[in-house]
C-alpha cells in the first residue's frame, strides 16, 4: 500500500520549499506576481488546442477563441502587417524560435543562419535538429550583435540566402540587436532573399510600452517574432507566442483530416490552458496596466543599479532593459539568492515581483557576502 502520509509530507515540503525560494528568485525572467485562482475550475477538463487556432478542429474541447484574441493582441503590440500575419500560443521561447527558424529553413533550404555568440543556448540546438547551416558571429562588448562582422561574413557568403537570428534582449545582458542596422547591411549588400527572426522573449513585452524603443518588430523588418508569456505577463506554465508573416506560413501549411485542422504549428497537441492564462492576464492588466507595470519594473532596475554602485559594486544595464549586470557574487550569495551567472558576471532581472524592498535586501546580502569573502 502506498504511504499516503509520506506522499502528503513530500508535497507539503515541496510547497514550503517553493514558497520560501520564490521571493529570492531574482536572476531569471519569470514573473511570480499573478493570481489565476479564477481559472482553476477549468483544470477539470481535458482541453487541447490541437491544430491551427484560426481554422478550428474536430476536437471541440479547446480554447481556440481565446488563443486567437491573445495572438491578435500580440500582433498589435508587434506592429504586424495588416492581413499578413499569423501566430499561435507556444510552450515557450524555444518553440517560438524553432518555429521561426523552421519557416525560414522551409523558405530557404540552402540558407545560412547567422547568430551572435550572445544568443540563447537553445538556438544552436535547434539549428542542429533542423540541419540548418549556420555561422556564429561576434558580439560587441555590450552583448549586441557585431554589425561589422555580420557585414563581412554576409559579403563572403552573399550568394546564399541569409537567415538572421536577432536577439531582442540577449540572455545575459539584455542587449537588443538593432533590426534597422541589420536591414541596412542587407540592403547595402543588395541581398534580396532574406529572413529575419527576432527572439523577443522578455523585451517583446517591454519595448511596446516605452517611449523610445529600439527598432525590433515587424515594422523594422522582422519576418517572425517569438515572445514568452511566463516572463513579463506571468504564468505558472511556461508558454509564449510566435508570430510570422502569413505569406511565409502559407508555404508550410498542411491539411490533416484526422483532427480536421491545418497543421501549421510545431506541436500537435497543445496546451489550451496557457492561452486562457495569457488571455486572463491581458484582460486583467489592459494596455495601460501593462505600461504601468513596465515602468515600475524599469524604475526598479534603475534603483538596483544605483544601490549596487553606491556600495561599490559595478553594475549597469541597457536602455529599456530590466537586466542588471554585475560581477559574479560570492558563493554564499549565490546559494541564498537565485541568480544567473556566466563566466565572471551575473545578473538580476527586475520582474514585477522584484520590488525595491527585495532589491534592498539583495544589495545588503551582497555587501555582507563581499565583507566575508574579500578579494585577495
The residues annotated with a catalytic role in the active site are 321
Which are the contacts of 140, defined by CB distance < 8 A and separation ≥ 6? Answer: 146, 175
Cα–Cα distance, 68 to 153 (Å, whole number): 40
Residue among 226, 221, 248 nearest 107 (CA): 248
Other beta carbons within 10 Å of 186: 21
All cell numbers assigned to 70: 491573445
Distance, CA of 14 to CA of 20 (rounded, Å): 10
| 270's grid cell | 497543445
Among candidates 29, 283, 63, 304, which has minimal Cα distance to 171?
29
**Residue pair 251/264 in contact by the 8 Å Cβ criterion:** no
Please state, in angstroms and as integers, the Cα–Cα distance from residue 269 to each residue in 5, 151, 288, 289, 316, following that order. Answer: 35, 41, 34, 32, 42
Residue whose C-alpha is closest to residue 232's, from 259, 205, 271: 205
Strands 112-116 and 133-137: parallel
Distance CA 93, CA 8 (A): 34
Maximum distance among all Cα pairs of the chain, rounded to whole angstroms: 72
Residue with cell 488546442: 49
Q: How far apart are CA 212 and CA 214, in angstroms?
A: 7
> Nearest 5 degrees, angle CA 143-CA 360-CA 33?
75
Expressed in percent and rounded to 5, the helix, strand and coil fractions of the chain are 45, 15, 40
Cell numbers that stand for 247 in this block: 505569406
Three-state secondary structure call for residue 156: helix
Do the strands 112-116 and 340-342 form a parallel or antiparallel pair, or are they unpaired?
A: unpaired
Amino acid at each position: 500500500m502506498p504511504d499516503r502520509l509520506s506522499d502528503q509530507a513530500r508535497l507539503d515540503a515541496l510547497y514550503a520549499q517553493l514558497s520560501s525560494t520564490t521571493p529570492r528568485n531574482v536572476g531569471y525572467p519569470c514573473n511570480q506576481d499573478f493570481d489565476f485562482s479564477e481559472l482553476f475550475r477549468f483544470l477539470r477538463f481535458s482541453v487541447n488546442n490541437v491544430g491551427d487556432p484560426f481554422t478550428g478542429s474536430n476536437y471541440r474541447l479547446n480554447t481556440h477563441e481565446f488563443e486567437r484574441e491573445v495572438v491578435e493582441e500580440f500582433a498589435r503590440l508587434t506592429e504586424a502587417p495588416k492581413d499578413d500575419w499569423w501566430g499561435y500560443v507556444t510552450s515557450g521561447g524555444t518553440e517560438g524560435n524553432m518555429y521561426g527558424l523552421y519557416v525560414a529553413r522551409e523558405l530557404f533550404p540552402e540558407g545560412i543562419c547567422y547568430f551572435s555568440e550572445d544568443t540563447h543556448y537553445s538556438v544552436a540546438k535547434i539549428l542542429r535538429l533542423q540541419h540548418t547551416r549556420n555561422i556564429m558571429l561576434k558580439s560587441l562588448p555590450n552583448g549586441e550583435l557585431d554589425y561589422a562582422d555580420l557585414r563581412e561574413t554576409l559579403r563572403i557568403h552573399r550568394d546564399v540566402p541569409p537567415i538572421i537570428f536577432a536577439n531582442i534582449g540577449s540572455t545575459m545582458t539584455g542587449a537588443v540587436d538593432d533590426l534597422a542596422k541589420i536591414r541596412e547591411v542587407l540592403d547595402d549588400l543588395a541581398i534580396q532573399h532574406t529572413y529575419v527572426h527576432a527572439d523577443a522573449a522578455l523585451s517583446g513585452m517591454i519595448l511596446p510600452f516605452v517611449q523610445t524603443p529600439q527598432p525590433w518588430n515587424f515594422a523594422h523588418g522582422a519576418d517572425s517574432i517569438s515572445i514568452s508569456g511566463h516572463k513579463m505577463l506571468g504564468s505558472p506554465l511556461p508558454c509564449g507566442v510566435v508570430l510570422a508573416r502569413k505569406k511565409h506560413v502559407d508555404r508550410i501549411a498542411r491539411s490533416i483530416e484526422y483532427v480536421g485542422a491545418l497543421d501549421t504549428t510545431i506541436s500537435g497537441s497543445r496546451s489550451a490552458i496557457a492561452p486562457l492564462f495569457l488571455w486572463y492576464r491581458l484582460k486583467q492588466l489592459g494596455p495601460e496596466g501593462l505600461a504601468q507595470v513596465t515602468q515600475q519594473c524599469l524604475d526598479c532596475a534603475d534603483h538596483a543599479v544605483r544601490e549596487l554602485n553606491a556600495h561599490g559594486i559595478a553594475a549597469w544595464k541597457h536602455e529599456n532593459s530590466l537586466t542588471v549586470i554585475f560581477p559574479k557574487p560570492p558563493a554564499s550569495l549565490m546559494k541564498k539568492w537565485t541568480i544567473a551567472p556566466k563566466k565572471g558576471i551575473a545578473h538580476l532581472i527586475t520582474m514585477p515581483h522584484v520590488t525595491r524592498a527585495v532589491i534592498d535586501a539583495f544589495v545588503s546580502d551582497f555587501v555582507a557576502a563581499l565583507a566575508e569573502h574579500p578579494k585577495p
